């Protein structure tokens, strides 16, 4: 997981 890798607005999530 990396910060800003998802659609949470820059949170540490591997969401696409």
Residue 5 pLDDT:
56
Listed in sequence order, the residues at least 6 apart from 7 whose beta carbon sits closer than 8 Å to its beta carbon are: 15, 16
Listed in sequence order, the residues at least 6 apart from 16 whose beta carbon sits closer than 8 Å to its beta carbon are: 6, 7
Q: What is the pLDDT along the chain (16 residues), one digit of tens a residue?
A: 455 555 666 666 655 5
Residue 13 pLDDT:
64
Burial class (CB in 10 A: 0-12, 13-18, 19+), 5: middle
Q: Are 11 and 1 in contact (CB under 8 A)?
A: no
Residue 14 pLDDT:
58
């Amino acid at each position: 997981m990396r910060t800003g890798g998802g659609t949470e607005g820059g949170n540490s999530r591997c969401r696409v």
